[in-house]
């Protein structure tokens, strides 16, 4: 694959846009489905919680969360296209005022202090320009005792993908934990799993991913 093609894939993964953005959103929802569910499961969610997700993509997974719990969901996106797609796909939840979608700059969380009970993000860690700053801003909007789970594929897997050399910062468990240690969060637990996903050239491949859960 040509360098320009790889750069284009990397750019779409970071921020889906244009004609191919919708297709990328569908692909990400399919490939990240299990990781998203496991990341949600890592949180001790209770009815009445206010929950934040960073980088929700098309958010076709939202029914998994809202059909299980009576919570209020808030989604943040840097992609205009994914912001619009998420609202359309989850129109019923938006109309019922169970789900609220917002744009943000990927750096500052546009909510007041002590606002959320739980928060999570899946496969966005690689793109954080100022990870310590962002984590501390997430800490700010969490309520005392609030939990934040980060789902990410291990560096050993991601480094095999040729497009990750363009704009990705890859992490293994120790590096992710070291990053968290630079913030105000405390590490609550770390869990690593292996799942099978569709390979780029067909068949199934093993993907090792980790869920790092932090607590305020």
pLDDT tens digits along 136-161: 999 999 999 999 999 999 999 999 98
**Which residue range forms the structural domain that includes residue 77?**
3-215
CATH number where 95 lies:
3.40.50.150
pLDDT of residue 50: 98
CB atoms under 10 Å from CB of 177, counted, come to: 15
Domain count, the chain: 1
DSSP labels, 69-137: ---EEEEEES-HHHHHHHHHHTHHHHHTTSEEEEE--SSS--S-TT-EEEEEEES-GGG-SSHHHHHHH
pTM metric for this prediction:
0.92
Could you give the strand order of the β-sheet that contains 99-103, starting from the edge strand earlier in sequence? 99-103, 72-77, 50-54, 116-122, 142-153, 204-215, 186-198
pLDDT tens digits along 47-104: 999 999 999 999 999 999 999 999 999 999 998 999 999 999 999 999 999 999 999 9
pLDDT tens digits along 4-36: 887 877 777 777 787 777 776 667 777 789 999
Return the ∠ at Cα 93 (arms to 112 and 121), rounded to 5°. Answer: 50
């Amino acid at each position: 694959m040509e360098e320009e093609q790889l750069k284009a894939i990397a750019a779409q993964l970071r921020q889906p846009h244009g004609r191919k953005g919708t297709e990328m959103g569908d692909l990400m929802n399919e490939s990240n489905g299990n990781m998203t569910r496991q990341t949600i499961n890592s949180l001790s969610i209770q009815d009445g919680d206010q929950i934040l997700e960073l980088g929700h993509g098309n958010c076709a997974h939202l029914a998994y969360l809202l059909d299980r719990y009576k919570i209020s969901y808030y989604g943040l996106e840097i992609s205009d296209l994914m912001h619009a797609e998420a609202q359309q796909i989850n129109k019923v939840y938006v109309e019922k005022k169970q789900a609220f979608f917002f744009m943000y700059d990927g750096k500052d969380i546009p909510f007041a202090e002590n606002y959320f009970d739980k928060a999570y993000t899946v496969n966005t860690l690689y793109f954080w320009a100022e990870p310590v700053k962002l984590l501390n801003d997430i800490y700010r909007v969490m309520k005392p005792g609030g939990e934040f789970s980060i789902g990410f594929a291990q560096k050993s897997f991601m480094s095999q993908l040729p497009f990750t050399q363009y704009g990705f910062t890859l992490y293994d468990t120790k590096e992710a934990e070291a990053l968290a240690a630079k913030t105000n969060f405390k590490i609550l637990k770390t869990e690593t799993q292996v799942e099978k996903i569709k390979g780029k050239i067909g068949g199934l491949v093993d993907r090792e991913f980790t869920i790092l859960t932090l607590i305020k």
